[in-house]
Amino acid sequence: MSHIQDKVIIITGASSGIGEAAAKELASKGAKLVLAARREDRLKKLQDEIQNNGGQAIYKVTDVTSLTQMEELAAHTLKKFGKIDVLVNNAGIMPQAFLNENKVDEWDKMIDVNIKGVLYAIAAIVPSMRERKSGHVINLSSVAGHNIYPGGTVYCGTKFAVKAISEGLRQEEAMNGTNIRVTNVSPGAVSSELLETTTDPTMKAGLDEFYQVAIDADRIARAIAFAIEQPSDVGINEMIIRPTVQV
């Protein structure tokens, strides 16, 4: 039997890209999905599609920058399904620009969604995993969480932070014997709506060129499923998944 069957899995940023692809992949393997993001029309459409294909999914409109909304998402999931097995901390934005353009508002937004959003989800959801002494947190970092490049400074900073949070969480949960697994997933270029969050024209042109080699989001979804379906005494802690031809 698949180790995904009947697992209750919350995915943030499920309304497009990697989150949407992960929801479809995990639903096809028998998971009970809770889809979270801000765009209700997209969440409802995905929920209906999964249900029409015989899968199980519900959704809750959630802004990850609100701790209250994250707590409501956790409470809603526990009420509906009685437990949370996996959190896929996937919501993210990438408004890249050179530092000398002083896009402070975009820095704030990236920090709020990419770092604080990940931490708020951990704050709201992991306590119930600790109580059950069972769980799995999958955080979406990036190759930008391993390498820095001009124009990517703040985005890279947020993704380095995600990597640090993943490793710190892993060590603390291991130390405390909570049996919570932590996986840090670092994709390279993946086709999604992420590039649309970059407003700077020079940066956008460079990214459009770079993303010509992008792979489909279902490739990352499969890697996420692989991490989940390992036996519970195995933690896949780091995954870097690039297009083969990405330099």
Residues that bind ligand NDP (CB under 6 A): 12-13, 15-19, 37-39, 42, 62-65, 90-94, 113, 140, 142, 187, 189-190, 192-194, 217
17 or 152: whose CB is closer to ligand NDP?
A: 17
CB of 95 to ligand NDP, least distance (A): 11
Nearer to ligand NDP, 38 or 44 (CB): 38
Quote the CA–CA distance of 26 and 14 in Å, as a whole number. 12
**Type and span of the H or E element at 117:** helix 117-132
| In the complex, minimum distance from the CB of residue 247 to ligand NDP, in angstroms, rounded to a whole number | 15
Q: What is the CA radius of gyration of the chain?
A: 17
Q: Which residues pair with 139 in a beta bridge?
A: 89, 184
Nearer to ligand NDP, 5 or 199 (CB): 199
4 or 189: CB nearest ligand NDP:
189
Cβ at position 1, least distance to ligand NDP in Å? 29
d(CA 135, CA 116): 21
Q: Does residue 183 contact residue 139 with C-beta atoms inside 8 Å?
A: yes
State the minimum distance, in angstroms, from the CB of residue 231 to ligand NDP: 26
Per the residue annotation, which of 59, 120, 149, 155 is the catalytic one?
155
Q: At what angle do helices 117-132 and 67-81 cross, to 10 degrees?
A: 30
* Spatial CA neighbour of 42 closest among 26, 57, 32: 57
Nearest to 34 by CA among 58, 12, 53: 58
**Least separation in angstroms between CB 175 and ligand NDP:** 27
Cβ proximity to ligand NDP: between 55 and 152 the closer is 152
**C-alpha neighbours within 13 Å on the C-beta side of residue 93:** 22
Indicate the length of the chain as a whole number: 247
Is 155 catalytic? The answer is yes
- Yes or no: say if 106 and 95 are a contact pair by the CB < 8 Å rule: yes
Phi, psi of 205 (to 5 degrees): -60, -45
Catalytic residue IDs: 155
